[in-house]
Structure 1
């Protein structure tokens, strides 16, 4: 339950509300598309989901989406799965991402600011970005890359990755990427599914002050991907181009006209991957048009980004937030790419990047914010963050203490946007709204055009109560399909098996009577004690306030005899001891702050908490191990950051058995 009338932590002033792009959009859409002129965001959101066709037509008009063949209908079919968006239209994502280069006043301004661990900046102007993309796209065409072919990148978050992706989109091919800290097994689990014809690679990367040579891994990928027709070498560590590979510089040096393939609105843009913790990662395919209009809405209206902004989100190419960051180009925004450790040379490193690049929107993970809080970082004391209007977080729910810390340590008038979405839609279901107040521990509101609700098991909508996160009407960026899922059964079973025709995402949420949203954690690892459901995120937020706890993992295990075992694993801070006093304080914290029913049955010291390669705690595979599943059936080894850590949990299961 959320308090009925808490005080906002922050609210925009009248000038900020008036200047916000979403305010101007609402007034404009009221005169042209029948949107409500009064009632603010709440009225606009209600209209955006009840008049779905009209809303998305207005979005494409407001952002001047250039359909190379016009549309006759916004929605040909509303079925989920299977919605048909702008079925007659043709479009090209890359043409929109690069159109700022057409403006003579902006052509020589930065499109990309790149920073690495040396904190030296490299600038790519709009004109240079367009020229390199055009050169590379022509080279791809010359090598037989055609619309629908897959092009892969084994690349860090560097400008070359952005250029390779945009050139791929320009020719109508399908992009897919993994970060170079992924091992060969993890990459092959992903790329083999889609059979890429081109592979862009680096020779290595720098992280934590060290160089990591990846040439052996690249050689293995070349051997194990028989579909490859070309490999492009980017010498990040300065090594020579290997035999049989093409040199990046040779492919991006020409000065040729830009050419963008006209593709249907539903033509694949990229393949993203689920974390794949229990099997092969799902290969999620999203469309050129669907991502174009969803990201214009999300970045332009919700994040309030435009040509005067600088957009920095700490991410890797293996996480959907990289794709989201690149889409900042759609709004004419300068994007900041950062390649390196989030905490090098010290925990506060990301704040230094935000300062140096003049970031106006700084996005990071909730885990990073909490790490800064624990490490005693003082961002505003140590950095000039006067240009940062908004700090956004995702990856996991931002705990209340994270909101308070940002408010106290960055500045009191900071817009804090905790957002939640998923790789599955490469967007946000709920989060940033520049015209609404921010309440501690809450996401501001569901997104425009997103009919987000909390449902009980019978499919009834809940307010101020915990329920399943569902989306009852289609979104343009929902997957067009999964790769290698010919009958659509895997796609259907992933989201539509519980409530037919309605997207069930797998999170527990509360939609408050004020219209805000609270995320409680994954519903497939929900803790259900004596009929009282609680998300694991609530436990973590409470337990990890204790300075002795570095990180925790709580699992609810249904047992064959009908019993329920709920252990809490704790990874201790250096020097801490799990003695009787600490155990009592952990139990008391949970009992007093959450629920006496959710005090763990056991508190077990662990050598660490396993994560996916994108940094999320692995709960379901640990639960399966504790239920007795064999290791190879419980977890996909290629999806875990530290496989040996899982052996600890396997041993716990063996001893209990």
Structure 2
């Protein structure tokens, strides 16, 4: 029996939303009638040429040189999108007709708020572009930033893209070793950096880290200092000097797959992968996603707390592609309290705001009432990404905002720099579930034999190409080479099918639940158990703030050992009574297979800087691996959080 949805699309969805207007446009111009999202999605994956050409035409994506086709080579890996086409991402980000309207709103705990109009943003991008040219930067050169989510970082990125140069960034809270592990792979010629920043009221000096980056990146020609925080970076080009000379706002036409930026994987399970995304794939995919899933367009304000090391920063700045204003936020996300982000959304007039599952659950636990205490009159949608979202958060958001705000949970990641599964204004929402695959993305859950399954856990896969699949890994062999790291990462399990690395369970409705990384999934007695299911139950106990579960298999074929680690709330004690309560609630809510063999208290649950729990590194450490061999400490939210597991091993 299908449960009742928690939220349903409004009756006037076709008139009031961008996805509805897109559906009407398809009917008027192409004679295609779709009465619901499911029908539109079926067409979008059955006719890739028709769907993606419609996205390009409807949203006015322009090619300096037109393509010979929509999709040339169709096999994965190596699918060829819009062969022969040339374009530039930055041209599309800055092409709208607005002048005096606000394009960028920036709030920071380091300095007062900043606003830039579209005219000011274009002027500064043109000046930064001219400055980079004076520093010798040209097409194909790499420019990197050790900088927070502030306007200067956005300006430098757009200037870099306008030249056909390649961008990469890391947040300044990363340690120097972790940053060098990433940036050294792309051999940058220019580094932009801040001398410091303020986090939660404390000044953080990063000048020593910048010196270490200089030493670890021998190909650097110049360091550009962005004035932020206290102090100065010696022997650096000043930001004012970079922008001193005016220049034309030109855009270098580049092939569809020309590198736009390099994103790095978390580095918590090995050397960070340098994932190359192209101008065309990101321009087309983000335009589609932001307009049709997030319902963003001119007049909207897009706020999402993120650092420059997370793919959501790249998604955030792509709000410009659809003419929305972007709200850049830097600082401690819960300082001086978790309600700060709600107050900021109220002040900035955010229409779509992003949230991490952990932050939403913290707001719920603290008893916050943003829907009652603040106007948030323009807010239409709350996007969620980063890790599985418990059903309780859905009910909490519904209790705060009723039907007027859509909770849009999604899952995708750095690898494709977008969502694979997500919601939209034309899809129902079920508590604890993601509404379904996004337009143009054909997803499924595969069993071990490569067959799609419904109603049971399977590997999350993409069975047809998507424009924003990575162009390649930097320094890797060609993706079509079976020996390449790219091929081994995504295509070893199922030939010609992208394996994403998550466990998913789809329902007949198309909605799904992501239960955790497939390399960390538990298998007891031949039954797959998703880790997210454990956390949703255990972390509802008032004594437990956070938790992590791993399964140590028995090489002899036994059931192995299921270990649960809990981070206790203040004042709580892990005694026999609490252990029994944990076991009872898991047994009754899930099954006897979910009852752990051992429950251990730890000071902190290890997470990476985007909030994901490090189940696989913990498992490897407990099996005897050294911490530094399985996880870069600089990539952790708390660099000491793995120490206790090394002791336990």
Decide whether aligned partners of structure 1 residues 253 and 411 sit closer, same or farther in structure 2, where only a CA change above 3 A counts: farther
CA offsets 1:57-95 (integer angstroms, 9 cap, x no match): 111111101100011111111121111111100000000
Q: Is 1:16 matched up with 2:13?
A: yes
Residue in structure 2 matching 1:123, options 115, 124, 131: 115
In the alignment, the residues of structure 2 paired with residue 266 and residue 216 of structure 1 have an alpha-carbon distance, to the nearest angstrom, of 37
Residue 495 of structure 1 corresponds to which residue in structure 2? 490
| Contact 1:110–1:125, Cα closer than 8 Å, also in 2 | yes
**Distance apart, 1:644 and its partner CA:** 2.4
CA offsets 1:143-178 (integer angstroms, 9 cap, x no match): 221111111000111011100100010000110000
**Distance apart, 1:555 and its partner CA:** 0.4
| Contact 1:202–1:234, Cα closer than 8 Å, also in 2 | yes
In the alignment, the residues of structure 2 paired with residue 487 and residue 14 of structure 1 have an alpha-carbon distance, to the nearest angstrom, of 49
**Distance apart, 1:314 and its partner CA:** 0.8
What secondary structure is seen at the aligned counterpart in 2 of 1:181?
coil
In the alignment, the residues of structure 2 paired with residue 271 and residue 200 of structure 1 have an alpha-carbon distance, to the nearest angstrom, of 16
**Distance apart, 1:238 and its partner CA:** 4.5
**Distance apart, 1:27 and its partner CA:** 2.2
CA offsets 1:391-437 (integer angstroms, 9 cap, x no match): 11110011000101111134443211111001000000011211121
Residue 48 of structure 2 corresponds to which residue in structure 1? 52
What secondary structure is seen at the aligned counterpart in 2 of 1:566?
strand
In the alignment, the residues of structure 2 paired with residue 432 and residue 17 of structure 1 have an alpha-carbon distance, to the nearest angstrom, of 16
Residue 442 of structure 1 corresponds to which residue in structure 2? 433
CA offsets 1:604-633 (integer angstroms, 9 cap, x no match): 001111111222111111011112223333
Residue in structure 2 matching 1:611, options 607, 615, 621: 607
What secondary structure is seen at the aligned counterpart in 2 of 1:168?
helix
**Distance apart, 1:120 and its partner CA:** 4.6
| Contact 1:269–1:287, Cα closer than 8 Å, also in 2 | yes
**Distance apart, 1:189 and its partner CA:** 0.8
Residue in structure 1 matching 2:197, options 202, 205, 210: 205
Residue 227 of structure 1 corresponds to which residue in structure 2? 219
Give the 5 Å matches for 1:135-174.
Answer: 135-174=127-166
| Contact 1:132–1:254, Cα closer than 8 Å, also in 2 | no
| Contact 2:178–2:632, Cα closer than 8 Å, also in 1 | no
CA offsets 1:529-578 (integer angstroms, 9 cap, x no match): 11111211111111001111010000011133333111000000111111
What secondary structure is seen at the aligned counterpart in 2 of 1:45?
helix
Q: Is 1:418 matched up with 2:409?
A: yes
Residue 83 of structure 1 corresponds to which residue in structure 2? 79
| Contact 1:385–1:410, Cα closer than 8 Å, also in 2 | no
Residue 394 of structure 2 corresponds to which residue in structure 1? 403
What secondary structure is seen at the aligned counterpart in 2 of 1:391?
strand
Q: Is 1:186 matched up with 2:178?
A: yes
How does the TM-score come out when normalised to structure 2?
0.97
Residue 512 of structure 2 corresponds to which residue in structure 1? 517
What secondary structure is seen at the aligned counterpart in 1 of 2:75?
coil
Stretches of 4+ moved more than 4 A in 1?
none
CA offsets 1:461-492 (integer angstroms, 9 cap, x no match): 11222211000011100011001112441000
Mark the runs of 5 or more structure 2 residues left unpaired by the alignment: none
In the alignment, the residues of structure 2 paired with residue 253 and residue 15 of structure 1 have an alpha-carbon distance, to the nearest angstrom, of 50
Q: Is 1:635 matched up with 2:626?
A: no
Q: Is 1:250 matched up with 2:253?
A: no
| Contact 2:302–2:353, Cα closer than 8 Å, also in 1 | yes
In the alignment, the residues of structure 2 paired with residue 255 and residue 411 of structure 1 have an alpha-carbon distance, to the nearest angstrom, of 50
| Contact 2:389–2:432, Cα closer than 8 Å, also in 1 | yes
**Distance apart, 1:259 and its partner CA:** 0.6
What secondary structure is seen at the aligned counterpart in 2 of 1:139?
helix
In the alignment, the residues of structure 2 paired with residue 521 and residue 599 of structure 1 have an alpha-carbon distance, to the nearest angstrom, of 18
| Contact 1:119–1:353, Cα closer than 8 Å, also in 2 | no
**Distance apart, 1:118 and its partner CA:** 7.4
Q: Is 1:96 matched up with 2:87?
A: no
Residue 527 of structure 1 corresponds to which residue in structure 2? 522
CA offsets 1:317-354 (integer angstroms, 9 cap, x no match): 01000000000000000000001111011121111111
CA offsets 1:164-223 (integer angstroms, 9 cap, x no match): 100010000110000000010110110011111110101111111111111111111112
**Distance apart, 1:363 and its partner CA:** 0.4
Give the 5 Å matches for 1:528-567.
Answer: 528-563=523-558, 564-567=560-563
| Contact 2:472–2:478, Cα closer than 8 Å, also in 1 | no
How does the TM-score come out when normalised to structure 1?
0.96
In the alignment, the residues of structure 1 paired with residue 646 and residue 338 of structure 2 have an alpha-carbon distance, to the nearest angstrom, of 32
Residue 574 of structure 1 corresponds to which residue in structure 2? 570
| Contact 2:110–2:229, Cα closer than 8 Å, also in 1 | no
In the alignment, the residues of structure 2 paired with residue 445 and residue 109 of structure 1 have an alpha-carbon distance, to the nearest angstrom, of 35
CA offsets 1:226-278 (integer angstroms, 9 cap, x no match): 111111101112534x3321110122243332110010011000000111112
Residue in structure 2 matching 1:466, options 457, 466, 471: 457
| Contact 2:355–2:384, Cα closer than 8 Å, also in 1 | yes
In the alignment, the residues of structure 2 paired with residue 109 and residue 95 of structure 1 have an alpha-carbon distance, to the nearest angstrom, of 18
In the alignment, the residues of structure 2 paired with residue 130 and residue 487 of structure 1 have an alpha-carbon distance, to the nearest angstrom, of 36
CA offsets 1:477-525 (integer angstroms, 9 cap, x no match): 0011001112441000101000011000011111211121211111110
Aligned residues: 644
